[in-house]
Amino acid sequence: MKSSPSPSPTGRRARTGRPAGRPDRQGASADPTRDIAFDIVEGVIAHRRMLDTSLEHSAAARTAEPRDRAAAHRLAATVLRHMGTANEVLAPFLKREPPEPVRVVLLIGVAQLLFLDTPPHAAVATSVALARRRGLVPFAGLVNAVLRRVAAGGAQALEGLDQPRLDVPPWLWQSWGRLARPIATALGHEPPLDLTIRPGGEPPPGGELMPGGSVRFAAGTAKVADLPGFAEGAWWVQDMAASLPARLLDVKPGERVADLCAAPGGKTAQLACAGAEVFAIEREGRRIERLRANLARLGLGGVHVIHADAATWRPEMPLDAILLDAPCSATGTIRRHPDAMWIKRLRDIATMTEGQDRLLAAARDMLRPGGRLVYAVCSLQPEEGEQRARAAEALGLIADPFTPDELAFLPQARTPEGWLRTHPGMLGARGGMDGFFAARFRRA
Ligand SMILES: C[S@@+](CC[C@H](N)C(=O)[O-])C[C@H]1O[C@@H](n2cnc3c(N)ncnc32)[C@H](O)[C@@H]1O
């Protein structure tokens, strides 16, 4: 029996039969930004491909200038960040459900009209041209008519809409409980750029010093590699919340410490800067290269970079401390990766937690008696955070709660159990932060 394709996250199916990803060369002049954005959004919502993977798959991206790729990335991310709202805005103007590629074009148009500073005539004209290039000529009139009406209404179209609620899939909203609204509200904004400054390093000028020592720059700050101090290894990019788990491991110079899931290496760098002998374990070959490159730029040559599966790797001698930044659903980084909202499913979480428990048990076996473990995930899901902390205790690890003093600079992030829980709405007025959970344990 032939099974029907699963519906896309928009709940809609393609109905054109045309290869929507192939530009119609007889159409209007090339517009690489919107061609690439189309490929990305379609890749995410129709094929459940991650944004970066969709970008790699985009034929238009292969020949595009870096600045067009960057602009396309931003446009596609804006569509994905506001997709629920944009669909709601479109609803009154669509008598019938359009084919999915047409909806993608419309979403790109609405994102430019309502969430980016594109002049209305340009947003409409480029969307019509995009429809033509994508072989959607019969729908060009519809795209033109609908977007002109959205443009005429302007920002009023957003009045009365519960944007945070519309822009998050219901299963995620429900899973965040009482934090859902502050989290979802923060997800509507591009995240700032945070840097962790190495000891003795100079931050680039103009940043804001955040609790915990990170230095923050507004979203859309110049290319990272162009900022002063990049080449000298004075700092590295790391969200302020991501810098907390390694701090809370509190390693001392000379301690033997493993970072079990290490690439791209932000936390490895913190442990190395604290003077520890670091074993950085990473399973993915491609990510190992990035880890090595980052450590080389920072001049942290003494780290033992090991290409291995942390579930089976064992140190020659028991370790003093371990940071387990476990692979997870990464819902805490949706601000940066809004595609994740439309790709992940509830059942993916259960698959992740099995792996997290395996890594927790492996970490326990690597520690010396009394050795410390910080378990961390960039997830907002309690199954991967709070529930795993309970599972760690069931594995025989002894809870070692963070004290109020240790988190004095961010007291709202300390739970009554002595765990760390951050979310994007925390310090929201100053740009928020990624969602992280961390808990500390000792081996008996
Ligand atoms: C959340 S990221 C780690 C981020 C990193 N700690 C940092 O701060 O830059 C997870 C990493 O763990 C790696 N990984 C996943 N499972 C692993 C395993 N079983 N053993 C080693 N590395 C693993 C992934 O390839 C990925 O690079």
Cα 420 to Cα 385: distance, rounded to the nearest angstrom: 10
Q: Which part of the chain has CATH 3.40.50.150?
A: 240-442
For residue 273, how many C-alpha atoms fall within 13 Å in the half-sphere facing its CB?
22
Atom of ligand 1 nearest to the CA of 246: 8
Q: Which CATH number fits domain 32-163: 3.40.140.10, 1.10.940.10, 3.30.70.260, 1.10.10.60?
A: 1.10.940.10
Cα 431 to Cα 408: distance, rounded to the nearest angstrom: 20
- Topology of the domain comprising 240-442: Rossmann fold (3.40.50)
Written as tens digits, the pLDDT of the chain (444 aa) is: 333 333 343 434 333 333 334 444 443 348 999 999 999 999 999 999 999 999 999 999 999 999 999 999 999 999 999 999 999 999 999 999 999 999 999 999 999 999 998 999 999 999 999 999 999 999 999 999 999 999 999 899 999 999 999 999 999 999 999 999 999 999 999 999 999 999 999 999 999 999 999 999 998 877 899 999 999 999 999 999 999 999 999 999 999 999 999 999 999 999 999 999 999 999 999 999 999 999 999 999 889 999 999 999 999 999 999 999 999 999 999 999 999 999 988 888 989 999 999 999 999 999 999 999 999 999 999 999 999 999 999 999 999 999 999 999 999 999 999 999 999 999 999 999 999 999 999 999
Residue 414 DSSP label: B
Asked if 79 contacts 108 with a C-beta cutoff of 8 angstroms, the reply is yes
Which is catalytic among the residues 37, 295, 363, 378?
378
Active site residue 378: yes
Query: Which one of 50, 238, 243, 283 would you pick to mutate in the ligand 1 pocket, going by the greatest count of ligand atoms within 8 A of its CB?
Result: 283
Cα 196 to Cα 203: distance, rounded to the nearest angstrom: 9
Cα 46 to Cα 417: distance, rounded to the nearest angstrom: 42
- Centre of ligand 1 from the C-alpha of residue 281, in Å: 8
Q: Which part of the chain has CATH 1.10.940.10?
A: 32-163
Q: Which residues are annotated as a binding site for S-adenosyl-L-methionine?
A: 261-267, 282, 309, 325
End-to-end CA distance of the chain: give it in Å, rounded: 56
Q: Please list every protein residue whose CB sits less than 6 Å from any atom of ligand 1.
A: 242, 261-267, 281-284, 287, 309-311, 325, 327, 378
Atom of ligand 1 nearest to the CA of 284: 25
Asked if 323 contacts 246 with a C-beta cutoff of 8 angstroms, the reply is yes
The interface pTM score, or ipTM, of the predicted complex is 0.98
- Centre of ligand 1 from the C-alpha of residue 234, in Å: 24
